[in-house]
Structure 1
Amino acid sequence: MDRNILVVDDEKLIVKGIKFSLEQEGMKIDIAYDGEEALRLAKENEYNLILLDVMLPKIDGLMVCQMIREFSSVPIIMVTAKGEDMDKIMGLEYGADDYITKPFNILELKARIKAILRRSVKKVEAPITNKNIIKIRDIEINTESRRTFINQKEINLTAKEFDLLELLIKNIGKVYSRENLLDTIWGYGYPGDARSVDVHVRRLREKIEECPSEPKYIHTKWGVGYYFQ
């Protein structure tokens, strides 16, 4: 499995430590110290994951994340030093897949990265069979290549958005609570809360629904959670 990682942070000592630790795991690491450089590298290279600090010179991390989402669905982990819930939710709302707060344990960071890489790996070399394709009305997902199409037009989803859609579409009519989705998609022990689920559902609706305020696919069971119809 390719593991090409872009690490973006203006604190060079932190970057040096992360780079050394991840290279010990056999990962290939590129580095950017500001938002402009990060954006350029993200456009010029194919990465399996981007570790992106919120506070950056030239272009801040949240804006970089949003701009990357215009052309790529590469998994992004936001790094914030503030530790405030709003910053974390904002990071997810701008299209991040996960976040971690400084100061962090390098072992925890590596565990997060490995978990996302395992979920987002694309087995493009495998033959595509009908069992990999789920088609309901205008929506079609390929669970092998992790691609999504609406009316035969490909839609870019983040790793978490795809995981969420795949789970719901495979369990039509089953209502999942926010806590259940948080545990299933993000994993037990994830430090976020149910608002992370709401943010991702809203972003997913904006991408797959003709009218997100009146969804025809992902519905809300008030006081309970979400389900696919």
Structure 2
Amino acid sequence: MKVRIEWHYSKSKSTEIAFHSEEIEASQAVGIAEDLIKTGRTKNVVFIDQFDNQWTVKEMKGYLKGIETEPHNLIVYFDGGFDRPTGSAGLGCVIFYDQNGKSYRLRKNEAIEGLKSNNEAEYAALYMAVQELAYLNVHHLPVRIIGDSRVVINHLTEEWPAIERDLSDWADKIEAKMESLGLYPDYYLVNRNANKEADRLATQALQGTDISATIEVVK
């Protein structure tokens, strides 16, 4: 989770100035806040999350300790591919997360039938990714979701209306699943080149290669 630090600097009783930082990772913010407090001239230190919720230093430290053993710092990439002649779809997702002081990368793909378009395949890929978050027992956390589907991202950020019934049904399923898990999605549209790994997984699914693997990532 990323937060802003807000604090007041007091040089004397008559001089008090308010400051705020850019968004940074919560764990880093706590360390900076503690250093500020040590100066003896800093008052009213709080953290503001992406939903404008306010946290004290004690509350944020408790939150970080509570999620340490659970998957957190979640980043999800998704992509779907559709073969029109056969009506087959390939779904791919990559999930990065931290747990117990280590970082992991989960890769998953799947081939399915019964879809009608590439846009449906993109939605199905994202739904598969959200299901994987459920299997990881992820709940009540922010999650960054990254894809190259302008349709999916713009529908879910409500930049575009979801007019087609098939696509609006997928959007409703995804949002309902997110809500049931207590997740707070933040959607990012990227170009295809920045989504290569999920794209490759979707292509491999269409080619009949099943992948489901989790590895530790050394940063």
Q: Normalising to structure 1: TM-score of the pair?
A: 0.27
Which structure dedicates a bigger proportion of its chain to strand? 2
Q: Which has the larger radius of gyration?
A: 2
Q: Higher relative contact order at CA 8 Å, sep ≥6: structure 1 or structure 2?
A: 2
